[in-house]
């Protein structure tokens, strides 16, 4: 038997209903036609995603100077290659 694939919107609706509702989780699950364990799994995944979103922003703001320097040097190198390639093409077109 094939399992039903739920969309992100469906999962979000269930988790939001669980978080803001005064209804028991079992009633919410009956309304959406899912098991309690599935709803709790989606809730846990949503909370982990929220936590990960907050921690990623902090990491980006507090990057080490060396990591930021390496990122910028890589970007400069990529742009230099593009510029050189464009110069080569424009010279060939003018000849």
- In angstroms, the CA 37 to CA 35 distance is 5
Q: Which tens digit of pLDDT belongs to each residue from 40-79? A: 999 999 999 888 877 755 556 666 888 889 999 999 999 9
Q: Given this model, what pLDDT does residue 95 score?
A: 60
- What distance in Å separates the CA atoms of residue 83 and residue 89, rounded to the nearest whole number? 10
Which CATH fold would you assign to the domain 1-62?
Answer: Arc Repressor Mutant, subunit A (1.10.10)
Domain extents for the chain? 1-62, 63-95
Q: What is the pLDDT of residue 75?
A: 92
pLDDT at 57: 57
Residue 40 to residue 15: CA distance in whole angstroms: 8
pTM, to two decimals: 0.56
């Amino acid at each position: 038997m094939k399992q039903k694939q739920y969309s992100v919107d469906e999962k979000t609706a269930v988790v939001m209903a669980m978080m803001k509702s005064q209804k028991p989780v079992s009633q919410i699950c009956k309304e959406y036609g899912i098991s309690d364990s599935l709803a709790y799994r989606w809730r846990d995944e949503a909370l982990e995603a929220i936590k990960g979103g907050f921690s990623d922003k902090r990491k980006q703001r507090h990057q080490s100077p060396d990591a930021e320097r390496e990122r910028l040097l890589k970007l400069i190198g990529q742009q230099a290659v593009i510029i050189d390639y464009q110069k080569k093409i424009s010279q060939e077109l003018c000849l």
